[in-house]
Structure 1
Amino acid sequence: MSHAVARRVAQKESRLLLASPLVWLLLTSFSASALFIVFSLESFFARNIADLRPLFQWLPLLLIFLCSALSMSMWSDERERGTVEYLLTQPVGISRFVFGKFRACLKLLVLALLSTLPPAITLSLIAELDWGPVATAYFAALLMGSAYLCIGLFVSSCTNRAVLSFIGSTALCALLYLLGHPLLGALFDSDTAAWLQAFSTASRFESFSRGVVDLRDLYYYLCLCGIFLSLNVYVLERGRWSKARSNRHRYWRSMTSLLIVNLLLANVWLARLPELRFDLSQGQLYSLSPTTQQLLDSLDQRLLLRAYFSSQPHPQLAPLVPQLKDLLQEYAAHSKGKLQLEFIEPDKQQSLEQQAIDELGLHSASPQSYGGQQSSWMNDYFHILLSYGSEHEVLKISDLIEVRSTSSALTELQLRKPEYQLSRAIRDALYHHQLGGDLFADIDQAVELVAYLSDQAQLPPLLQNYQQAITAQLDTLVKQSEGKFSVRLVDPGADGGATAQRLQQELDIQPLVTAIGNGAELYFYLTLEDEQQVVQLPTGSFDPDEFRATLEAGLRRFANSLTRSVALALPHDHERAAQQHSATPSFHHLERSIAQDYSLRREDLSDGSVDPQADILAVIAPQQLDSRALYAIDQFLMRGGTVILATSPYSSDQSAVDLRLKTWPSGLQEWLAHHGLQISNSLVMDSQSSALPTTIIRQIGGHEFRDVELIDYPYFIDVRPPQLNPEHPITADLAEVTMAWASPIEARPTQQQELSILLQSSEESWLSNADEDIAPHLAQQRKAALDSQVKRQAEILGLALQGRFRSWFAQHPLPATGAKDSDGQAFADLAPPIEYSPQSARIILFASNDFLSDHLLNARKAATNSSHHTALELIRNSISWSLQDDSLLQIRPRAYFNRSLPAIDERAQALIEYINYGFAALYFLLLALAQWLLKRWRMRRYRRLLAL
């Protein structure tokens, strides 16, 4: 009976609301305001982002006025007409009338929210819309509107004037909204501001608008509904009481107070529980990995994350700003108050801009070219400063974004694994802080600071003063290091430019151009070097007071306890290849990539051993390895280590005018065959291939012209999922890898070994004879591709083999004793071989000598207009997995991409906007028609009943 009362009250109030012209004006005004915000106020097409975030940012404010207007007359009109006494005397609980009126208002709220759907439908038709955040935001809007309606009903029950009810409920809802506003939070300290935000309806809405359902936010809105519905019932119940006090009055007061207190305490209790969040965004963008959460939990003091974004960023950067802000806010939400997050727009305040220049060193960054275009957004602010104790690290625009080319030869920007970059930086800052103490305690090899400085007379006064100031600091450190630290000055222009050319090729160091004097090029760069790695030091604003902290941070890269060590064995004339056109590939990009996270040690295998401090051995493009080098690799594997091999019987000849192939004997063929791995003497060609920049010579009018064209090159195998194993940690987060001049692998693992295929060619690949000429002759390629006798099948290009291995030298003699090195010094005698390896031993094999070379990576950069190399990511992932340091491998990019709108001309934009307004108008016309038809049906039904 009581439930039927609530239903009948809801039906009656709904009919009264829909019969009011004021309500229809209110609904249409709400819908028109929402559409105006999306298309005009927030510049939907100029914003160029395929989401509805502008609408959802304004909804908390729009709902205040809508819900206050819908609920303002619910009880105030009853009081004004005197009908409230009739309701209070009914033999039914007053709560049924309250719930009935609430259901009526909620029905109108749903109809109002439905009227804002046309932009979402339009977006889904013209672009890629993530429906997860849309659904959760509308769900949260319904919850927030419900809370506002409950507040409005409560205020309406306290007065007999609808206008006063509207003003009172609007003021109360606006107060809850403003508690989380940055303007109010700026008046208090961070802890107080965070406490106020916990009570804000707008702050609780933010996670829903990103597609994240947090049960604490969900309960917050339900709690508001429970509190104000209880107060509404209590206020009306008091109208039944006589003036004399009774136990019933005390009972109602105590029970209402107890209910409200329990509802509030439940918020406090939920806040202490582990986070119960459900990420419904596509790719689960805002679910931080366990690695990130563990890093945030391990913080023992406040971590500052200061993000610098331009107020009006480049149009291609603008869509990335809210994505990165959302991720940073997730870090702050998971940190339990240990992370202080600040967003700064330096271009609005000169002091903040100068601070950004000083801290980020933007002035020292030379202009870069992305996508074949001069990077106009390099002057924008898109940087993050991390500060933890005395440690700090800066993530610049080149660390945070990736530039790709589209099919229309335009460039496209997307975030480059932002969670990975942020968590790696936090981890490094945390480790650096925990290391502390003596700078040289964990440094074994001597470290040299090499200062690449132009002649003193060419330097401007600022740099001269800076050099003099840091020289005194360096002299002090040299004395304290006890021989572990030294300084050397090099003038890149003193040897005719040879050193300058080497710096440009190996370290990407470009000359500075000063506006002082004649604008001549000059050098002022500082690097730390040992026998294994080179670390470039940022000079920042050339402030001597900042130099000591910068130098200490660089020296910690050479400490043994800081990172794991990777022994890297490269071809013997690798260094010479980088300085001149040599047939040997160079791998400086690979070295710099590994040195970002690991301590790099260059390994010479000719002495028959691997550095005992090395945690992993990577052998790239091995050439004619002798028995002692083979013994070093074999015994490293027998000790349970992991050997990463990039080897093939062939390599490209980069010194030739035409692209040609040459044999490349590695010396590993028999050793690999002993372990069940065979690399065939052929090359894999694939119809699923990448482009090769090729010089085309044209003869026009007796003149010769050279053009560069991108030609599909079957030797550049474009490996993508599922051929790129999506289940293995090494390859799971990679979108594609280009394997160049790769050979097929045959694997025959034993029962004690586990084989994981990492990379394969497509089913449309075939084998080619290793002809000497591999230039992209299209006619020959097409002929080979169309030859019906060519066998097509997938070929293994990369694999991981783990398990128990038996030493090659258990069945073969040891290397001869008495061997000497290049200096004529005799090698030490080799220890007896370990015959069997433990189960933890691994061989990771990639059948290509060139896919990691500088030449190929530069060619791929030219072909794709991308500065990001997935081949380097493949090796870094292999190292992390091999070292059981798979924590960062758990962090996936998870669909961080730019959801932009397609190109739409102005006439089409105007048409789309008018269509959305038209659909909203049609919606209300159909709603009014349905209401009219329903009214006519009820009238006919009543007449039939009366006729009986």
Structure 2
Amino acid sequence: MDTSRVAGRVARKELSLFFASPVAWLFLGGFASVCLFVVFWVESFFARNVADVRPLFEWMPVLLIFLCSAITMKMWSEERRSGTLEHVLVQPSPLWRFSLGKFRACLGLLLLALLATLPLPITVALLAELDWGPVWGGYLASVLLGSGYLAIGLFVSSRTDNPIVSLLGSVALCGLLYLLGSDLFTSFFDDRTAQVLRQLGSGSRFDNIARGVIDLRDLTYYLSLVIAFLGLNIYYLEREGWARFASTPRQRHWRIGIILLLANLIVTNLWLAKVPALRWDITEGRVHSLSPSSRQLVEQLAEPLLIRGYFSARSHPLLAPLVPQLQDLMKEYAAVGGPRVRVEFVDPARNPALEKEANEQYGIKPTPFQVTNRYQASLVNGYFNVLVKYGSEYHVLSFSDLIEVRTSARGDAEVLLRNPEFDITRAIRDVLYNYRAGGDLFAGIDKPVEFIGYVSNQERLPGMLLAYLDSIKQQLEKAAAASGGKFSYRFIEPEANSGGVARQIEEQWGFAPMSSSLDEEQEFYFYLTLADEKQVVQLPTGDFDPGSFRKSLDTGLKRFTSDFTKTVALAAPRLNRTMAAYNLGGPSFDTLQAAITRNHRIIAEDLTDGEISPEADILAVIAPQVLDTPAVFALDQFLMRGGTVILATSPFSVEPLGGELKLRRWSSGLVPWLEHHGITTDKSLVLDRRHARFPAPVHRSEGDYQFQDSKIVDYPFFIDIRRDGFGRHPINASLPQLTMAWASPLEIERGNQRRVSQLLWSSEDSWLESGEDIAPRENDDRSPDGATGRKLLGAILQGRFHSYFKAPPTELAALPTRVSAGVNSFVKRSPESARIILYASNDFLSDRVLGALVRASGSRYLGPLELFNNSLDWALQDQQLLQIRSRAHFNRTLPPMEQQHRLYLELFNYGAALVWLGVLGLVFWIRRRRLARYYARELGL
């Protein structure tokens, strides 16, 4: 007998015996059916609307308990019951080969069962962008955990001759191991004890691998579990042949060997627990690891950086499992930064001095959480905060900044870390730049910047500008002296040398001659610019007040450095609270303003004064309404000076009236200005078969009473944009999905020395409607009257723009800000750096739409805000956070589908599982036929 092939023969025999029993097919079919039922019904896969298979793997540790126990229940108990165990014990081949053979057979059955669920992730991948990393991690975790359960099942089966007892014993032992680290059990203990229990339990380590992080410690744990119980299985089988009460050297060697084996496995796991994590992030984009942007930022540190986590021993049970994940990420910053980064973890309740410091110095306060122990429910004050400190600068992240909560279809809260790398890296960037700047603008300037003033001879200048010129020269001299050689200045007289410079600056930048209201015939030049080897920025002169020049200079210099928080001038409708109480007064944008202030400084811009604040680095005009001539001129001249203007505008807005949505004509006052630059917005709305959902009001009658409820319905005016609807541009490169609400189509003329980048498109199944019926319907049957096709919804124009105005409008003379100056400052043509970023919707950034998206999806993921923030970062050349902003867990959503389509997909998965089982049955039948023919030939039958 070839003992080296015993394991393979035993495995083949066990597989044949398993498939020969109808009970085996019931187990495999039942496992696949229960898995799919859990995903589609218990977890409400389509209502959950997230493009992942997390529900499958959340239930897998429990389902595997029953599957593995059923697979192993007869492996040794049947041998013992039928009396063949004694035959095995007297074979010349060692027992471990028989045990390994049975384990291989069981593992093969487990793999076949898991393959029956593979059509589910394939379905998701065909529907939307699926991150395959967590999927492969989930299957790897299932195989590892299942292997541990199989080893336990084989051990239990070897101790009894009753398969039912084996089944129940395996379920009990595997269930106890899972329960040990589950939230249901650990919630009764403080965080430190719960952490130890999670390390011992089988399910918590499963979750770590299933999220796409393969940790050497988790692999070692599962491998140890398999080796330990297979070793116990072999040991107790070996004992079957021993004489009772005897103590031979062989028996002592076996006892010592099994004790040493178990001890070494325990020591190995304890040792690895204290070793820095050796792990592999297999997710797409490595979302659980530091990105290149974060690494580059940490490498810029010159002083020690402190990252301290304040985590209470007792907190909310949904937050406790997130602490180890956050701690692992924080340790990665330390690994990258080396001695420059110090990471600490503090339980304030155990360190009163640090708690006092956190309360008084950093403003970190405990949050009341409801917790439950064995006897009662109570409120405890817990900490879940992260402090980032660099020098004297610090930033605090609270639990509301770090977590993301999504309501499941069952009404349960699903809590995950939102995007911790983005939040921590942003905090590091802020404290680093604030500390490094320290009031010194030139600290963050890498290449020299030159101030060039195109100023006429003093004889041509009005008297008021002579004093202004003398003042700014003195301020420029001080700035140059303080710059350390990074800043210089000079003045050029445009009229010199027969006006060659004057012709050049008018042709290149549109710097037209100025005139004074006191002497309109006397023309002169007074233009102030900053330039490096890449860009030219014109400084606004305002009312030529010497006291405001340094502010304009500092604002201009900030465009050449990333070390200062940029300033966004936001012009958006101001909500009338009285009218808002009656759902009147147009859209509001409080959520947008809060999102901007997380990364930038914001100033409310009043365009009607004819000027943009000199502090503004970028101008955002949202839902403009009836802009007058001075407002359009202010916007126009900001663009002409090389600025970036972000516009969200269309001919329509929507407001609720009488419990229903009404379409409102919205005159922006910008139509002629946009048409001058080759931009046309059609007076219609885009509808799309690929659309998002909307929480619509639904009227319900009960007897003589009328009630108004809310129901989630399909809504073709909420355009669902996926990868094929994004142009190739850094602004939307990291966005997986975006919802555009009540958008109009754009048409843009090319040429005229401008580059056009198309950002957003509707799908091929979109069409236009000009009617005013926008009310959501429970069964929306709207269909196109004409042709369908893609519609442009967002674009960027960059390059040389020509002013809409021939000269400064006469209305400016009546404005108070212009009276004191008395000088007509006017730029006819923009530099190449000028940009218009246009989105053809007034409402897609409004509180009303964002709130509807949250209610419809149950998630805080808001694609419109991420698109807007990406637009700011790209325009301000601050792209460090651009690639990691969209790393949140719930940002990959399913596309909208008809109810019938969803049913077909569900039935397809059930059918695919049945087909797989049918293929297995056919293979088994063919193999049995071949074996029958072989034995018939051998026996001469």
Do the aligned partners of 2:742 and 2:843 also contact (CA within 8 Å) in 1?
yes
Do the aligned partners of 1:615 and 1:641 also contact (CA within 8 Å) in 2?
yes
Alignment partner of 1:795 is 2:791: yes
Post-superposition offset of 1:883 = 0.6
- Structure-1 residue corresponding to 2:136: 131
Higher deviation after alignment, 123-132 or 701-710: 123-132
- Structure-1 residue corresponding to 2:414: 412
Alignment partner of 1:830 is 2:824: yes
Q: Which of 542, 566, 576 pairs up with 1:564?
A: 566
Post-superposition offset of 1:619 = 0.7
Post-superposition offset of 1:137 = 6.0
In structure 2, do the counterparts of structure 1 residues 707 and 333 end up closer, same or farther at CA, with 3 Å as the change threshold? same
- Measure the CA separation in 2 of the matches of 1:432 and 1:769: 51
Post-superposition offset of 1:363 = 5.7
1:46-74 residue CA offsets vs partner (Å, 9 max, x unmatched): 9999389999xxxxxxxxxxxxxxxxxxx
- Structure-2 residue corresponding to 1:673: 675
Alignment partner of 1:844 is 2:837: yes
Do the aligned partners of 1:608 and 1:628 also contact (CA within 8 Å) in 2?
yes
- Structure-2 residue corresponding to 1:547: none
In the alignment, residue 342 of structure 1 is paired with which amino acid? Answer: E
SS at match of 1:673: helix
- Measure the CA separation in 1 of the matches of 2:611 and 2:328: 50
Q: Which of 403, 422, 425 pairs up with 1:423?
A: 425
SS at match of 2:809: coil
- Structure-1 residue corresponding to 2:774: 774
In the alignment, residue 875 of structure 2 is paired with which amino acid? Answer: S
Alignment partner of 1:879 is 2:872: yes
Post-superposition offset of 1:131 = 2.3
Post-superposition offset of 1:871 = 1.6
Post-superposition offset of 1:759 = 1.8
Post-superposition offset of 1:846 = 0.6
SS at match of 2:867: helix
In structure 2, do the counterparts of structure 1 residues 731 and 390 end up closer, same or farther at CA, with 3 Å as the change threshold? same
In structure 2, do the counterparts of structure 1 residues 680 and 283 end up closer, same or farther at CA, with 3 Å as the change threshold? same
Do the aligned partners of 1:109 and 1:145 also contact (CA within 8 Å) in 2?
no
SS at match of 2:278: helix
- Structure-2 residue corresponding to 1:598: 600
Post-superposition offset of 1:284 = 2.1
1:117-145 residue CA offsets vs partner (Å, 9 max, x unmatched): 88788677668753258496689969999
- Structure-2 residue corresponding to 1:334: 336
Q: Please list, as runs of the form range in 1=range in 2, the aligned pairs for 1:243-254 lying within 5 A after superposition.
A: none
1:907-937 residue CA offsets vs partner (Å, 9 max, x unmatched): xxxxxxxxxxxxxxxxxxx9xxxxxx9xxxx
Alignment partner of 1:651 is 2:653: yes
Alignment partner of 1:814 is 2:808: yes
SS at match of 2:882: helix
SS at match of 2:850: helix
Do the aligned partners of 1:583 and 1:654 also contact (CA within 8 Å) in 2?
no
Post-superposition offset of 1:743 = 0.7
In structure 2, do the counterparts of structure 1 residues 836 and 346 end up closer, same or farther at CA, with 3 Å as the change threshold? closer
Q: Please list, as runs of the form range in 1=range in 2, the aligned pairs for 1:731-770 lying within 5 A after superposition.
A: 731-750=732-751, 752-770=753-771
Q: Which of 263, 273, 278 pairs up with 1:207?
A: 278
1:157-214 residue CA offsets vs partner (Å, 9 max, x unmatched): xxx99998998999888777655544xxxxxxxxxxxxxx4xxxxx4xx423xxx2xx
Structure 2, unaligned stretches of length 5 or more? 11-41, 44-53, 63-95, 122-133, 142-213, 228-251, 371-376, 445-560, 893-923, 925-930, 932-941
- Structure-2 residue corresponding to 1:394: 396
Q: Please list, as runs of the form range in 1=range in 2, the aligned pairs for 1:55-454 lying within 5 A after superposition.
A: 130-131=135-136, 134=140, 181-182=273-274, 197=275, 203=276, 206-208=277-279, 212=280, 279-309=281-311, 317=319, 320-344=322-346, 381-406=383-408, 410-436=412-438
In the alignment, residue 844 of structure 1 is paired with which amino acid? Answer: I
Q: Which of 621, 624, 631 pairs up with 1:622?
A: 624
Post-superposition offset of 1:647 = 0.5
In the alignment, residue 659 of structure 1 is paired with which amino acid? Answer: L
Post-superposition offset of 1:400 = 1.6
1:781-833 residue CA offsets vs partner (Å, 9 max, x unmatched): 52xx245x332222111112222322223xx4431155434899678543132
In structure 2, do the counterparts of structure 1 residues 853 and 778 end up closer, same or farther at CA, with 3 Å as the change threshold? same
Alignment partner of 1:855 is 2:848: yes
In structure 2, do the counterparts of structure 1 residues 574 and 896 end up closer, same or farther at CA, with 3 Å as the change threshold? same
- Measure the CA separation in 1 of the matches of 2:628 and 2:438: 43
CA root-mean-square deviation: 5.4
SS at match of 1:50: helix
- Measure the CA separation in 2 of the matches of 1:364 and 1:323: 21
In structure 2, do the counterparts of structure 1 residues 669 and 180 end up closer, same or farther at CA, with 3 Å as the change threshold? same
- TM-score, with structure 1 as normaliser: 0.53
- Structure-2 residue corresponding to 1:522: none
- Measure the CA separation in 2 of the matches of 1:843 and 1:643: 5
**Count of residues in Structure 1 that have an aligned counterpart in Structure 2:** 594
- Measure the CA separation in 1 of the matches of 2:9 and 2:858: 62
Do the aligned partners of 1:319 and 1:898 also contact (CA within 8 Å) in 2?
no
Post-superposition offset of 1:886 = 0.8
SS at match of 2:332: helix
- Measure the CA separation in 2 of the matches of 1:739 and 1:895: 20
Q: Which of 694, 697, 700 pairs up with 2:699?
A: 697
- Measure the CA separation in 2 of the matches of 1:427 and 1:863: 34
Post-superposition offset of 1:776 = 2.7
Do the aligned partners of 1:568 and 1:602 also contact (CA within 8 Å) in 2?
yes
Q: Which of 21, 32, 50 pairs up with 2:57?
A: 50
- Measure the CA separation in 2 of the matches of 1:742 and 1:137: 46
Post-superposition offset of 1:880 = 0.3
- Measure the CA separation in 1 of the matches of 2:216 and 2:369: 44
Post-superposition offset of 1:293 = 0.6
- Structure-2 residue corresponding to 1:262: none
- Structure-2 residue corresponding to 1:638: 640
Do the aligned partners of 2:648 and 2:842 also contact (CA within 8 Å) in 1?
yes
In structure 2, do the counterparts of structure 1 residues 398 and 582 end up closer, same or farther at CA, with 3 Å as the change threshold? same
1:469-528 residue CA offsets vs partner (Å, 9 max, x unmatched): xxxxxxxxxxxxxxxxxxxxxxxxxxxxxxxxxxxxxxxxxxxxxxxxxxxxxxxxxxxx
- Measure the CA separation in 2 of the matches of 1:813 and 1:286: 56
In the alignment, residue 431 of structure 1 is paired with which amino acid? Answer: Y
SS at match of 2:587: coil
- Measure the CA separation in 2 of the matches of 1:118 and 1:137: 26
Structure 1, unaligned stretches of length 5 or more? 1-10, 21-44, 56-104, 150-159, 183-196, 198-202, 213-278, 369-374, 443-558, 900-925, 927-932, 934-948
In structure 2, do the counterparts of structure 1 residues 360 and 49 end up closer, same or farther at CA, with 3 Å as the change threshold? farther
Do the aligned partners of 1:736 and 1:870 also contact (CA within 8 Å) in 2?
yes
- Structure-2 residue corresponding to 1:555: none
Post-superposition offset of 1:575 = 7.6
- Measure the CA separation in 1 of the matches of 2:220 and 2:268: 16
In the alignment, residue 757 of structure 1 is paired with which amino acid? Answer: Q
- Measure the CA separation in 2 of the matches of 1:642 and 1:432: 24
Alignment partner of 1:889 is 2:882: yes
In the alignment, residue 850 of structure 1 is paired with which amino acid? Answer: D
- Measure the CA separation in 1 of the matches of 2:97 and 2:398: 48
- Measure the CA separation in 1 of the matches of 2:848 and 2:569: 22
In the alignment, residue 588 of structure 1 is paired with which amino acid? Answer: D
- Measure the CA separation in 2 of the matches of 1:376 and 1:864: 31
Q: Percent identity?
A: 41
Q: Please list, as runs of the form range in 1=range in 2, the aligned pairs for 1:466-477 lying within 5 A after superposition.
A: none
- Structure-1 residue corresponding to 2:129: none
Post-superposition offset of 1:567 = 1.2
Do the aligned partners of 2:314 and 2:380 also contact (CA within 8 Å) in 1?
no
- Measure the CA separation in 1 of the matches of 2:567 and 2:315: 40
- Measure the CA separation in 1 of the matches of 2:792 and 2:599: 29
- Structure-2 residue corresponding to 1:728: 729
1:705-743 residue CA offsets vs partner (Å, 9 max, x unmatched): 222222322222222332144x42212233332222211
- Measure the CA separation in 2 of the matches of 1:658 and 1:15: 76
In structure 2, do the counterparts of structure 1 residues 113 and 731 end up closer, same or farther at CA, with 3 Å as the change threshold? farther
